[in-house]
């Protein structure tokens, strides 16, 4: 990509990435195995619909796979080859935009290339979002990528951005984790027993 500010129909002002390595639980209990690695990849996108109502958002939806492809590429560069077991997505919309503007970038056309990048994902991707300003804390939900009923992988990655979004921007965020919560002990389907057929079990 020769123009680093452009990605198809999208003007990107900033990319964000983050790695968290969680080595013990909140009370200090040692990890039951490997640490949890959590990853964030996010794009700060100019919002062409800011300040007005637009009935038809299909142009943004139709172009959104380009964002998904780039998020997947950046994720794989960030993980260094570690496999990802869970994922989630969110948007943070600047105050001149609608929540719906951001949601247009979280639909299946944008999500499917990310699923491809993590080696497939049978389950739907948990998502959330809000309108906000620089410094707003965004809690991105996580769940197992192939089976929603794996309780150990219900988790959250909390993130914020120092210089975004401006009023006429949207931040598209994806979060990922390499395993479930440390010392998860609430029962239910185990990740090792996932069948990965219907996105539930």
Number of domains into which the chain is organized: 1
Residue 57, domain CATH? 3.30.1330.110
Q: 69 in a domain, yes or no?
A: yes
Q: Are 147 and 190 in contact, with CB atoms under 8 Å apart? A: no
156-184 pLDDT per residue, tens: 999 999 999 999 999 999 999 999 999 99
Per the domain annotation, does 201 fall within a domain?
no
Q: In terms of pLDDT, which residue wins out, 15 or 189?
A: 15
Could you tell me what percent of the chain has a pLDDT over 90? 88
Bridge-based pairing state of the strands 86-93 and 169-177 = antiparallel
Q: Model's pTM, two decimal places?
A: 0.93
Residue 2 has pLDDT above 80, yes or no: no
Does some domain include residue 165?
yes
Give the whole-angstrom CA distance, residue 70 versus residue 15.
10
User: pLDDT tens-digit profile of 130-150?
Assistant: 999 999 999 999 999 999 999
What residues make up the domain containing 92? 6-193
Q: Which residue's structure tokens are 């964002």?
A: 67
């Amino acid at each position: 990509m020769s123009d680093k500010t452009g990605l198809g129909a999208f003007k990107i002002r900033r990319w964000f990435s983050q790695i968290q390595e969680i080595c013990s639980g909140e009370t200090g209990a040692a990890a039951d195995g490997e640490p949890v690695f959590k990853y964030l990849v996010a794009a700060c996108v100019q919002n062409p619909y800011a300040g007005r109502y637009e009935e038809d958002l299909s142009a943004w939806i139709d172009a959104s796979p380009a964002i998904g492809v780039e998020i997947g590429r950046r994720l794989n560069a960030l993980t260094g080859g570690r496999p990802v077991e869970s994922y989630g997505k969110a948007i943070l919309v600047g105050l001149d935009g609608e929540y719906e503007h951001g949601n247009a970038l979280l639909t299946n056309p944008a999500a499917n290339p990310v699923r491809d990048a993590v080696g497939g994902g049978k389950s739907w991707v948990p998502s959330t979002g809000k309108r906000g300003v620089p410094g707003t804390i965004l809690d991105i939900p996580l769940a197992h990528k192939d089976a929603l009923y794996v309780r150990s992988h219900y988790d959250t990655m909390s993130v914020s951005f120092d210089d975004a979004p401006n009023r006429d921007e949207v931040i598209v965020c994806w979060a990922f984790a390499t395993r479930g919560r440390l010392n998860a002990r609430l029962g239910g389907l185990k990740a090792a027993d996932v069948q990965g057929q219907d996105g539930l079990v």
